[in-house]
A and B are shown apart, each in its own frame.
Chain A
Amino acid sequence: MNKQCGSVWVVAEQIDCRILPVSLQLIGQARKLAKELNTSVETVILGDQMDKRVQEFFAAGADRIYLGNAPELAIYQPEMYTEMIVKLAKEHQPEIMLIGSTSMGTELAPLVAARLGTGLTAHCIDLIIDDNKILEQRIPAYGGLISIICPEKRPQMATIASGVFPHPELDESRTGEIIHLEIPNEISPRVQTLEIVREEPEGIPLESAPIVVAGGAGAGDIEGWRIIAGLSEILNAALGSTRPAVDEGWTELETMIGQSGKMVSPELYIGVGLSGELQHMVGIVGAKVMVAINNDANAPVFEQVDYGIVDDCREFVPMLIEKIKEYQERKITC
């Protein structure tokens, strides 16, 4: 007898009652996976006053919602959240569990996975169901892609960044079932979130910027980095980075583009002094025009962009900035 396949779950996340885009994107992808497995899509959401928001999950493709709605769930509380999700998963045995790779998701997912005794894949850039009905979780590594599977243990768990999957088409006529969760009261927490403080990010957000200038190790030092930052300023672009630039302390982790950073989809991407490692390049999705500036003609980045400049960025970029200024002035006077 064929055992009925468990559901595809998305553990959603909210900030101040607003559902994060990544959660809806994952529901969109979950819909596709569920279709191939002939099963349903279910969402878990913990928060406060979320009852008015749950229609969004149905519209995005969820069939059933597990709703934990209480003031003490308003912000992420590690133990309470873990406890509730673990209990629920043990009860309903999902086949797959997807979580956004936000700060919360990155902490919550391994806590849940370890408690459920199952595997967990990080930084997935694609998810497909293979011929054996197993979830293939693709991640960039070693200049190519590797597929990770969790053949026996369930659920098959993965975290995915915002922007990896597109926003689903919303169908406002869709509805589904809402299951209200009981709030455990016997927990005496050993770790508690006292406060969450968020500042408005400075500058243009990378994720929605029409122009992205990204700098890499080739900047050489902080001076070189400032030159690249200058290019992004003149273009009114968002400034992105590669991991070495972050490791050197030239820029913040928030600016890193790629597998373990941000996903961008600009009209124009200019990569300066970076080699074109896949872990970075997978972060650029559907750019219209891509340019690379690198002093090594054999740099792999030249196989992944539209226009290449072989030159020392510290010499070339200042001249480029001047030329762009000229162009911008001409454009205004025309």
Chain B
Amino acid sequence: MSTIEAEVDALRAEALEALAHADGEAEREAWRADWLGRRDGRLTLRLRALKDAPPEQRAALGQSLNQLKATLEGELEARREAARAGEIAALSADAALDVTLPGRPQSSGRLHPVTQTMHDCIDAFAEMGFRVFEGPEVEWARYNFDAVRIPEDHPARDMWDTIWIDTLFDGERQMLLRTHTSPNQIRVMEQTDPPVRVIVPGKCYRQEATDATHEWMLTQIEGLAVDEGVRMSDLKGTLYAFARRLFGEDRRIIFHHSYFPFVEPGVEMAIDCFLCRADGSDCRTCHGTGWIEILGAGMVHPEIIENAGYDSSKYTGFAFGVGIERVAMLRWGIEDIRHFYQNDLRFLRQF
């Protein structure tokens, strides 16, 4: 072995030995400065001293030293690479998280379940071309009752127990909290010419004792479509689409005969019970009938069409009224309507 080789081998051995003990990035950096530093690294100095070597050895020595430099640089990079991989491995292993711990809390808010249900109902009807209209909650008795064919001394008034405004006009109470959204049928038709296709959402009020299924403040959507050629089969189709959208694509609907003074014919719509699927069990929701009453509907009474200034022989229409709380209760299985307006966060946060 030549002396050159011996010398380079010794240098390599010493450098690699030192590198092997250089743990941590700071020590590796110190090692780099010690051996490969630009100014006074030992190998740098040795390379710089090449010019003093005997000319016949210079080429061979230079080649060996440059090889050594490449080796050392390569080893350093390899060591650094290994250290990074080790750190990442340690991050995955030693510093592994308990991912079951709770996340950092964010403030989050939700819409009230009645609002959510209202939005879903509005969306369902909007797809069928219904636009939103709104009317006042404090209403004239003549709109709430007389204009929808419920005169003062008619027993149909008993269908809606009324909260009256305590203000007299000509010695009489004439204002009330609307008991239903139906007066807006009149308000819409007064303001527009056919075709009409609107839904009217809003709060309604009833003077009645509350229990698990009755609340004195409630939310309704009124629907109204009036045009040439509006048929009762269209009412059924519209409500069928609504029922499937809200309660599932496999829903079925039926109409029962009913009576509301402002429609003729008048019906109540029921959907098949998606809870018991009419399996004959003692179902609390449908009482074993297999059908759940959802809303009242019918063809707009021809007198109402005429009173709006439309020709009832030409124009026909349908109307319906949906109770939003009832829909929400069915969707989520809420057992008591009185939860809605107590504003208890423990209730509201679940929707």
Q: Do A and B come from one complex?
A: no
Residues of A within 8 A of B (CB): none
